[in-house]
Amino acid sequence: MLFEKPSLTDTVLVADDDPIFRHVLQSCLEKWNYRVVAVENGAEAWKILEQPDAPHLAILDWMMPGLDGLELCRKLRHRKEGAYRYVVLVTAKDNIQDIVAGLEAGADDYLTKPFDVDELRARVRAGSRILQLQDALLQAHEKLQFEAAHDGLTGIWNRRAILDLLKKEVERHHRNGEPLGIVMADVDHFKRINDTYGHPAGDTVLLEVVARIIKSMRRYDFVGRYGGEEFLAVVPGCDAADLMASAERIRASIAMHAIDTDAGQLSITLSLGVVSMQANSIFDYESVLHAADAALYRAKANGRNRVEVATSLFAARAGSA
C-alpha cells in the first residue's frame, strides 16, 4: 500500500492581530503545502522566532499591538546566530518612506494590504528560493568541512585532524590525569602489495584494514590515517592492559583472515607500536608520537606482524612545558 507524504516544503510563521488576515494567510499557505504557525501578536511571534528550530519564513504584520513587525525585524537581524529567517512585512502603509523603513529594519520583502493572494504566493516563493539556496550552501559548506578533516579513501580522520585530536587528548590527559593510549599501525610490505597486485587491490586492503581496526576499537576512540599505509589510533581512558589487548586484537583480526581483493585473497599483516600514558605523566605530544614511532619500528625489526609497547617514553625527557 502506497502512502504518499504531503510535500510540506517549508514552515511559515504568520503574525497578525487581525483574524481575517490570519485566516487568509493560513488558508492560502496551507493550500500551497506550507505548514503554518499562526500567532496574534509580536510577543508570541518573538517567542517562536528566538528558538533554534523556528520557521525560516515569517510573514509579519507591521501594525500589531505591543511588539510590531518592524521591531520584530530589528530584533531578528540583531541576533546574529542561527539560520537566516526570510521576513515578509505586511503593511497597510503604502508610501515609499515607510516601505524603505521596513526594508532598512531588515525585512526581505513587503506586501501591502489589501494584498492579492497571487502576489502573496509569488513573494513567499521567492523567499523559499532564497532559503533553499541557503540550505544548499550550508550543505556544501558542511561537506567541505568534512572533506577537509577526513581521508578521501577511508573516511576516517586525515593526518592533520588525527594529530589535532591527539594533541587535545594529551592536553586533557595532563589536565585530568586519566590514562591515554596511542596505537600506531603500519601495513607490512604495503609497497610490495601495491606493486604486485595493483593500486585498486591496495586500496581494498586499506579499506578492509580500517574496517577491522574500527571494529576492534570502542565507538569513542579516534582512528586516523597517519600516512599512506599508516594509521594512528587515539584511545582515551584506557589502561595499559586493555590497550595491549586492543592492539593484539587488531593485529590478530588482520593476520588471521585474508582480505578479498579483485586480485584474489591476500594475506596481510600489521605491525603495531603502542604507548600507554598513565596518570601524572608529563610527556608532551611530540614525545608520545616519537615513542609510538620507535615502538612501531621495533615491531618491524622484530619480525613484523607483532605489537610492541613503548618503553622509552618513561625514560624520555619531558617536552617543553
Partner 1 sequence: MTANDLVEVWRRDEALDRVGGDENLLEELCQIFLSSYPGVMEKLREAVMVGNSLGVQQAAHSLKGELSYLSAMQATNIARSMEDMGRAGDLSCAVSSLNALEQSLALLRLALDKSTGVH
**Of residues 23 and 79, the one with the C-beta less far from partner 1:** 23
- Which span sits near partner 1 by CB under 8 A: 108-116, 122-130, 196-204, 278-286? 108-116
Q: Which one of residues 24, 101, 130, 163 is an interface residue with partner 1 (CB under 8 A)?
A: 24
CA 265 to centroid of chain Cα atoms: 36
Q: 147, 229, 248, 308: which is the annotated catalytic residue?
A: 229
**Of residues 16 and 308, the one with the C-beta less far from partner 1:** 16
- Which span sits near partner 1 by CB under 8 A: 4-12, 18-26, 167-175, 180-188? 18-26
Contact string (CB under 8 A) for partner 1, positions 53-72, x = contact: ----------x-x-------
Collapsing DSSP states into helix, strand and coil, what is residue 273? Answer: strand
**Of residues 65 and 264, the one with the C-beta less far from partner 1:** 65
Q: Does 48 bind partner 1 (CB under 8 A)?
A: no
User: Least distance (Å) from partner 1 to the CB of residue 28?
Assistant: 7
Residue-by-residue DSSP string for 156-220: SB-HHHHHHHHHHHHHHHHHH---EEEEEEEETTHHHHHHHH-HHHHHHHHHHHHHHHHHHS-TT
Q: Does 19 bind partner 1 (CB under 8 A)?
A: yes
How far is it, in rounded angstroms, from Cα 199 to Cα 97?
68
- Which span sits near partner 1 by CB under 8 A: 12-20, 186-194, 206-214, 313-321? 12-20
Q: Does 125 bind partner 1 (CB under 8 A)?
A: no
**Of residues 21 and 231, the one with the C-beta less far from partner 1:** 21
Residue pair 126/133 in contact (Cβ under 8 Å)? The answer is no
Q: Which one of residues 48, 67, 101, 117 is an interface residue with partner 1 (CB under 8 A)?
A: 117
Q: Which residues inside 65-104 make contact with partner 1, applying CB under 8 A?
A: 65, 92
CB atoms within 10 A of CB 93: 17
**Of residues 62 and 157, the one with the C-beta less far from partner 1:** 62
Q: Which one of residues 30, 94, 104, 116 is an interface residue with partner 1 (CB under 8 A)?
A: 116
CB atoms within 10 A of CB 321: 6
Residue pair 188/304 in contact (Cβ under 8 Å)? The answer is yes
Here the cell at position 206 is 586499506
Those residues with Cβ within 8 angstroms of residue 49's Cβ, 6 or more apart along the chain or in another chain? 13, 58, 72, 75, 76, 85
229 is catalytic: yes
Here the cell at position 7 is 510535500
How far is it, in rounded angstroms, from Cα 165 to Cα 224?
9
How far is it, in rounded angstroms, from Cα 36 to Cα 33?
9
**Of residues 24 and 43, the one with the C-beta less far from partner 1:** 24
Instruction: List residues with catalytic annotation.
Output: 229
Site residues (CB under 8 A) for partner 1? 17-21, 23-24, 27-28, 63, 65, 92, 113-118
